[in-house]
A and B are shown apart, each in its own frame.
Chain A
Amino acid sequence: MARSEGLPVPGAPLARPATEIDEVDLVPVRTYWQLVRRRFLQHRMAAIALVLMVVLIVSSIAFPLIGGDAWFKTSLTHGPKDPSSLTAPLGYDNLGINIFFRLMRGLQTSLTIGFFAVLIIAGLGTTIGSIAGYVGGWVDNVLMRVVDIVLSLPTFFLVLMFVAFMGSGNVFVIIFAIGLTGWTTAARLVRAEFLRLRESDFVQAAKALGASDRRIVIRHMIPSALAPVVVASTLGIADSVVTEAALSFLGFGLRPPEASLGNMLTNAQDYFYRQPLWIWYPGITLILLVLAASFLGDGLRDALDPRQRIEA
């Protein structure tokens, strides 16, 4: 057993000489984030998903920039019969539009909707959940009953109605519709964390230091309550992307010439027998995106859980 602290000698100064070797020095010191990274990378699927996600995001930004207006420019000289080439790896569609660039633009739209919807979900969920969990009492009761009501509604039809009334074809309306119906899970998670944290010793200690409620919530509780929200949000990206695709597929989402994975699927429907590959392109992209988000979420859940200790 290593001696961790020297015994006090009467009359000696309180501070020990700095030369004394401490046992903590012998243990490699890792911060929380180093541990998180290590645990995340040990989750193989999550690591693959991360790479995939990065590839999808980078291409959704890069290719629309390279392609310029290729994603909506029709052409009379190109058509479905053209062989794939370097400039049009997936060929041209019935209007002579470059499918690859259209696909990348659609991916960009889907990712944008996914990220911003999730931002609303996380923001709204964290705010409502932390108020409910911290204040407690009747406030908690009212907010949680609201959550129950929203949860009991069929979300997709709610989104559909919202979009139908507020104007279909508008990206912001779609983002808001998904965001305003999807915050309930995040709110519940944050509330649960807050109920636990409220009783925790360090929150009590912060109160004893004279910290204000605002400081306790923002500085001491939200950072600790955020891990499940990050996980739920990552998984929420997949949900939002699918919801958008479904909306567009039903004709309530983005309409051509705007490109989204959903309306590309709708368009491909008409050419199902003649051009079966057209349905695969957006379909597979959508699947990859959803899988990447899901595995990323799983990996983060395992990595952010401080109770899990993976020995390196």
Chain B
Amino acid sequence: MVRQDDERTLLQIRDLQTHFATADGLVKAVDGVSFSIRNGATLGVVGESGCGKSVTALSVMRLIERPGRIVGGTITFGGKNLIDIPDDEMREIRGNQISMIFQEPMTSLNPVYTCGNQIAEAVSIHGGMSGGEARKRAIEMLSQVGIPDPARRAEEYPHQLSGGMRQRVMIAMALSTNPELLIADEPTTALDVTIQAQILELMKALRERNRMSIMLITHDLGVIAEMADDVVVMYAGKVVEQSDVNTVYEHPHHPYTRGLLASIPRLGEKRNRLEVIKGVVPNPLNLPAGCLFQRRCPSAMPICNVAPPFQEVAPGHLSRCWLTPAGDPPSVGEAPSEQVALDAAAALSAE
């Protein structure tokens, strides 16, 4: 599934590190993230707020602002490492080969210009089209994203459109240059449920039509199930589980993923309380040693004080957990060394 160096790989991120030097200390928002996106496939990136999903996306676009900085790793796209190329070259890729849509359609459009004007701008930045051609393209894009009467809508200002309509305009803008990769950062979070479904349908249809890949960032597992081919689960700046969508839903390995899936309410199920993952996300300024999830983990063991490796538990299914592929605690022999495990146990009991 997520094989490395596959020639059908569009984007490959390896050991990405994006840190923020805040006044309180260094925040490792993204700490060694690796994954790849296949041609024409949708990769879902899931995780709770602050786990580094958006920072990963912005790192790919190289839109990290001070005090943030990409301090390590590679992002390979089209044979180039996006971290190393000059700003001008990156700008050429942005919006042209990699487009991005944001969470807030209400504020992501410039209130001063008409919708048609803004799509035309997106086209003319890269396409080198004349004003008239760009306008035509804008109207064509509006009709492609299912906006009725596109010629008239093109003349309207963002405040005259509903949220769903605005998100469609954003998608039209992002896709007007026929990008190879669309990064969608929580594209449906700000929309109500029926509109959400429409936008997801639209994105699916446009993915087929334009044969592009999508990196879909969300905390909504329902959206992932609907859209994604592959899934990356992030926790506190690290990838904790990675596989194809069916494996993640049917045989989740990492306790965090299992917790996430267990906390989805199910239709027709009688229950007074929803399942929750106990505790809170660790303070990014003061991360625990070893496994970052151990304090909330129902299967925490002494060995969890040692950072677990990101290892394959089944072909194409990676998990950052000490549990055996079957989900059992590892025998001591599997630990890096008995001394380490004993130290870990001592540290845990001292706490």
Contact A306 B102 (CB under 8 A): no
**Are B121 and A29 touching (Cβ within 8 A)?**
no
Q: Is B164 at the interface (CB under 8 A from chain A)? A: yes
> Residues of A at under 8 Å CB distance from B?
4-5, 7-8, 14-18, 20, 22-24, 29, 31-32, 136-137, 200-202, 204-212, 215, 219-220, 223-224, 306
**Interface residue B300 (Cβ < 8 Å from any Cβ of A):** no
Contact partner of A306 (CB less than 8 A), chosen from B92, B109, B111, B122, is B111
Contact B110 A209 (CB under 8 A): no
The reply to whether A15 and B107 form a contact with Cβ atoms under 8 Å apart is: no
- Within 8 Å CB of B173, what residues of A? 205, 209
In the complex, what's the smallest C-beta–C-beta distance from B227 to chain A, in angstroms? 14
B170 A205 Cβ-Cβ under 8 A:
yes
21 CB contacts below 8 A, A to B, read A8-B201, A14-B144, A14-B145, A15-B150, A18-B149, A31-B157, A32-B112, A137-B66, A201-B104, A202-B109, A202-B110, A205-B100, A207-B63, A208-B61, A208-B95, A209-B121, A209-B122, A209-B174, A215-B125, A220-B112, A306-B111
* Given A15-B150, A208-B95, A209-B174; 10 other pairs, CB 8 A cutoff: A4-B195, A5-B162, A7-B197, A8-B198, A14-B145, A16-B148, A202-B107, A204-B63, A220-B110, A224-B110
Min CB distance, A271 to chain B, in Å? 54
Nearest to B162 among chain A residues (CB) is A4
State whether the Cβ of B80 lies closer than 8 Å to any Cβ in chain A.
no
In the assembled complex, B91 has its CB within 8 A of some CB on chain A: yes
Q: A32 to chain B: which residues have CB within 8 Å?
A: 111-112, 157, 159
Interface of A is mostly: loop
On whether the beta carbons of A212 and B111 are closer than 8 Å, the reply is: no
Check if B156 is an interface residue, CB within 8 A of chain A: yes
A173 → chain B, closest Cβ, in Å?
37
Q: Which residues of B contact A20 (CB under 8 A)?
A: 148
Number of interface residues of B (CB under 8 A): 49
Contact A15 B198 (CB under 8 A): no
Residues of A within 8 A of B121 (CB): 209, 211, 219
Let me know if B63 and A29 touch, CB within 8 A. no
Asked if B147 and A209 sit within 8 Å, CB to CB, the answer is: no
How far, in angstroms, from A211 to B91 measured CA to CA in the complex? 7
The minimal Cβ–Cβ distance linking B53 to chain A, given in whole angstroms, is 16
Judge whether A15 and B95 touch: CB under 8 Å: no
Interface string of B47-66 (1 = CB under 8 A from A): 00000000000000101001
**Docked pose: A285 CA to B94 CA in angstroms:** 57
Given contacts A15-B146, A32-B111, contact A210 B125 (CB under 8 A): yes
Complex Cα distance, B123 from A190, in Å, reads: 29
B108 touches A4 (CB 8 A): no
Chain B residues near A223 (CB-CB < 8 A):
112
List the 4 closest pairs (A to B, CB-CB), nearest first. Answer: A210-B95, A209-B95, A210-B94, A14-B146
Considering only CB atoms, which chain B residue lies closest to A215 in the complex? B125
Name the CB-closest residue of B to A31: B157
| Per-position 1/0 for B74-105, Cβ under 8 A of A | 00000000000000000111111001101010
Of all chain B residues, which has the CB nearest A137?
Answer: B66
